[in-house]
Structure 1
Amino acid sequence: MSLKLRGKSYYLCRRVPRRFAEVESRAAVWVCLKTDSKSVAEQKALAVWQQLLDAWELKVHGQSEDAEIKFRAAKNLAQARGFNYLPSTSVAQLPLAELLNRVEAISVLENRPDTIEAGALLGAVPAPKITISRALELYWEHTVDLTLNKDDDQVRRWKNPKRKAIQNLINLIGDKPISKITRHDMIEFRKWWIDRIKEEGLTPNSANKDFTHASSVLRVVNDMEGLGLDLPLYKLSLKDAAQKKRPSFSTAWIKEQILKEGALTGLNGEAKCLLLGMINTGYRPSEAANLTPPQIRLDADTPHISIEPVERELKSEASRRELPLVGVSLEAFRNYPGGFPRYRGKDSLSATVNKFLRENGLLETPDHTMYSLRHSFEDRMIAAEVDDRIRRDLFGHTLNHQRYGQGATLEHKARILQSIAVA
């Protein structure tokens, strides 16, 4: 790094790399570092040179024929100069002092303003025509943080409804630039869903999920790409009827049918254990299916499982909890102390169990599913007048008020569950 002392200040003096000749007419640059200390100048010079390199790199991208690359370069260059990129219409409406700040920040070389910098600071670079399908690709890039703690199966289940919603929209209005999406397009999308609901017996909730996912993708890309579009995504949701409540298995049905000798013969061992384990814990099937051996603590003074984020995220922080194992659930887990590799990271447990229960006449009504065992567990706790705080802690539900203290101990919860356990 070449430093030259001129008067009382050190200057960074360095040749411009050849690859930047198209965007930097000077053969060498001299930058005042505003210090007479050589050690301070050496530290400053490194940062200043890197800023110069970054700016030249952005200017090279600013000459790209790819509108998306060119627009991103303009945004980044504006930020490098200390400004947010704004379209020219917005720049024109800035207070005079702010507008002059932008103008004065534009480099002047050989008595001419740097056209690439001017375009970036004055908003003269048009937003790229990002198609709906391209918007989905950009959405994945901008939301990587939302998947950092998800396992592969969770990522797949998170992405699929967004893929479906975007594909449904494209099938109807075409893969047009998102800047060309009109209110008429979205009303037609809404009407298309209404027709599907009538013809296929779907629920309004299915349509509303599509509207939510498609709108989320488009809004995030509009915001993160700085497109400044006024997207017509308002008032799309359909009025949904009251959700049908999932029924609970009666305790008598669990004892006399599901736990009847030989009733579960034919169901693979891991699925059988997970089904029986759910009876006296009320866990979510996916929580138990993804347990690792250290989370199954059968040798503890109070045998239990620990629901915690291991290689995957939980539904919420309230889902982190320890569940005592009692009755038939404890007996089942003793057969699988190492967990359930067949279902870990997969989404097939509920389908497997529900198919077996249905084909073997073990569903109390056609509306019952494996998940109904979670509701049965809640009913038994309510009947036993278990405290609401303890019920929520066992279920992994958020409290509606401040959570004080540590709550019930594992031993205390075990005693409660033992009193309502199905043996």
Structure 2
Amino acid sequence: MVDKIVPSYCFVKDATYYFSRHVPVDLREHYSTNRIQLCLKTRSPHNAANAVKSINQKLDDYWMALRLSTMDNPALRFLKDRAVKPSAAPLLSEALDTYLRLKGSNKASTFHRGAKRNVRAVIDVLGDKPIDQYRSSDAAAYRDYSLERGLTVASVKRNFSTIRSIINLTLSEQGIDCRNPFSKVFFPELDDVKDRKPIPIDTLRLIQRRSKQINDDRRWLLSLISDTGMRLAEAAGLAKEDIRLDAEIPHLIIQPHPWRSLKTKGSSRLIPLVGQSLWAAKQVLSDSNNTTEFAFPRYTNNSGCNAGSASATLNKWLHNNFPGDYVIHS
């Protein structure tokens, strides 16, 4: 058996590669540790080598910037005005308010929660600065922090996309001429994406049988999506009038509502009801305890549709009662 070659600045633990590098002595006052160690989340020496190369480049650039920041600028004496003017650009939190005001009026609550969550995370790590005061080294530090927390590269890229959009909108609206520091940030190619497989048909039938036995609104919701392929938020946000059992072919009308938008304009459609989903639809309309206009008032009201809560509840039930790591996304 030939041992794998371990790239420089790496060590292997449980077949997974880790990055490790000493902090230079002259910069240790900026760190709480003398060594930087990161899980590269890959078992491939090739991917590890690429990740190490990228991380080292970013560290070298950042450390050079730290060193230069402590040096006197020899050209300062040639400046006409050495006073540094404070930034007039809005804070990141203010840019968020602008973004939600201009783009969030017809968006679902998940749009608002996601934007607020991403901005809050950046502020927690980097501070609430004027948007023209963030640097590319700040964005790189936030990327590394996110990966260290265990987020996948794909998740961090989605978060960065939201932050970029928020900053770009305010830069454009206020005519601020500066580069968005959250653009063109390098992301290592880590083998950290989970391969989620569809639920096997035998397991799906077992879930459907158990759902009929329990016969409550949570199981009706699960049953409704099990035979239709619709998104959980689409089902949780249904109005009773969206369920048409008296038609020649019983069906659901998937359409936007004030309390629940759709993911895309093309998401509006009719979905025929068959098998388990037809049973679930009949249960919903025959529920005498539900006097609202909503099919699932546990998760929906005039203020919005909390599909995230439904997802958490159903996923917990699936994990506790059925084999396999199956997930229902909201």
Matching residue within 179, 184, 197 for 2:147 = 197
Q: Distance in 2 between matches of 1:171 and 1:328?
A: 46
Instruction: Classify the secondary structure of the residue corresponding to 1:201.
Output: coil
CA contact under 8 A between 1:207 and 1:237: conserved in structure 2?
Answer: no
Matching residue within 330, 340, 343 for 2:299 = 343
Q: 1:169 to 1:278 in 2, by over 3 A?
A: closer
Q: 1:271 to 1:222 in 2, by over 3 A?
A: same
Q: 1:316 to 1:251 in 2, by over 3 A?
A: same
CA contact under 8 A between 2:245 and 2:251: conserved in structure 1?
Answer: yes
Q: 1:369 to 1:235 in 2, by over 3 A?
A: same
Give the structure 2 partner of residue 392 of structure 1. none
CA contact under 8 A between 1:280 and 1:326: conserved in structure 2?
Answer: yes
Structure 1 stretches of at least 4 aligned residues deviating more than 6 Å after TM superposition: none
**Aligned-partner residue type, residue 204 of structure 1:** V
Which moves more between the two structures, 338-347 or 272-281? 338-347
**Aligned-partner residue type, residue 161 of structure 1:** G
CA contact under 8 A between 1:275 and 1:370: conserved in structure 2?
Answer: no
Matching residue within 146, 150, 161 for 2:114 = 161
Cα distance, 1:222 vs. partner? 0.9
1:220 counterpart = 2:169:
yes
Matching residue within 120, 127, 130 for 1:174 = 127
Give the structure 1 partner of residue 203 of structure 2. 253
Q: 1:173 to 1:335 in 2, by over 3 A?
A: closer
Give the structure 1 partner of residue 188 of structure 2. 239
Q: 1:245 to 1:293 in 2, by over 3 A?
A: same
**Aligned-partner residue type, residue 328 of structure 1:** Q
Q: 1:165 to 1:237 in 2, by over 3 A?
A: farther
Cα distance, 1:241 vs. partner? 4.3
| 1:41-67 deviation line (CA, Å, top 9, x unaligned) | xxxxxxxxxxxxxxxxxxxxxxxxxxx
Instruction: Classify the secondary structure of the residue corresponding to 1:305.
Output: strand
Cα distance, 1:206 vs. partner? 2.8
> Where do residues 283-294 of structure 1 align in structure 2 (5 Å cutoff)?
283-294=230-241
**Aligned-partner residue type, residue 325 of structure 1:** L
Q: Distance in 2 between matches of 1:297 and 1:303?
A: 6
Give the structure 2 partner of residue 134 of structure 1. 94
Q: 1:329 to 1:177 in 2, by over 3 A?
A: closer
Give the structure 2 partner of residue 325 of structure 1. 273
Cα distance, 1:172 vs. partner? 3.4
- For normalisation by structure 2, the TM-score amounts to 0.62
Instruction: Classify the secondary structure of the residue corresponding to 1:323.
Output: strand
Q: Count residues with an aligned counterpart.
A: 230
CA contact under 8 A between 1:127 and 1:227: conserved in structure 2?
Answer: no
Give the structure 1 partner of residue 159 of structure 2. 210
| 1:204-259 deviation line (CA, Å, top 9, x unaligned) | 1232223222221111101101222333333214135464342112222222x223
CA contact under 8 A between 1:249 and 1:368: conserved in structure 2?
Answer: yes
Give the structure 1 partner of residue 45 of structure 2. none
Query: Once superposed, what is the RMSD of the aligned Cα atoms?
Result: 2.6
Q: Distance in 1 between matches of 2:218 and 2:202?
A: 22
> Where do residues 12-31 of structure 1 align in structure 2 (5 Å cutoff)?
none
Which residues of structure 2 form unaligned runs of 5+? 1-85, 286-293
Q: Distance in 2 between matches of 1:275 and 1:171?
A: 37
> Where do residues 393-408 of structure 1 align in structure 2 (5 Å cutoff)?
none
Q: Distance in 1 between matches of 2:123 and 2:208?
A: 49
Give the structure 1 partner of residue 319 of structure 2. 358
**Aligned-partner residue type, residue 216 of structure 2:** G
Q: Distance in 1 between matches of 2:329 and 2:111?
A: 20
> Where do residues 101-120 of structure 1 align in structure 2 (5 Å cutoff)?
none
**Aligned-partner residue type, residue 273 of structure 2:** L
CA contact under 8 A between 1:304 and 1:323: conserved in structure 2?
Answer: yes
Q: Distance in 2 between matches of 1:290 and 1:350?
A: 13
Instruction: Classify the secondary structure of the residue corresponding to 1:306.
Output: strand
Give the structure 1 partner of residue 81 of structure 2. none
Cα distance, 1:329 vs. partner? 1.6
Q: Distance in 2 between matches of 1:270 and 1:368?
A: 20
1:274 counterpart = 2:235:
no
- For normalisation by structure 1, the TM-score amounts to 0.49
1:304 counterpart = 2:251:
yes
Cα distance, 1:313 vs. partner? 2.2
Cα distance, 1:370 vs. partner? 3.5
CA contact under 8 A between 2:89 and 2:176: conserved in structure 1?
Answer: no
CA contact under 8 A between 2:251 and 2:271: conserved in structure 1?
Answer: yes
Q: 1:240 to 1:323 in 2, by over 3 A?
A: farther
Instruction: Classify the secondary structure of the residue corresponding to 1:340.
Output: coil
> Where do residues 77-92 of structure 1 align in structure 2 (5 Å cutoff)?
none
Q: 1:223 to 1:201 in 2, by over 3 A?
A: same
User: Which structure exhibits the higher relative contact order, with contacts defined as CA atoms closer than 8 Å and separated by 6 or more residues?
Assistant: 2
Seq. identity, %? 30
Instruction: Classify the secondary structure of the residue corresponding to 2:284.
Output: coil
Cα distance, 1:196 vs. partner? 4.2
Instruction: Classify the secondary structure of the residue corresponding to 1:286.
Output: helix
Q: 1:264 to 1:351 in 2, by over 3 A?
A: farther
**Aligned-partner residue type, residue 254 of structure 1:** L
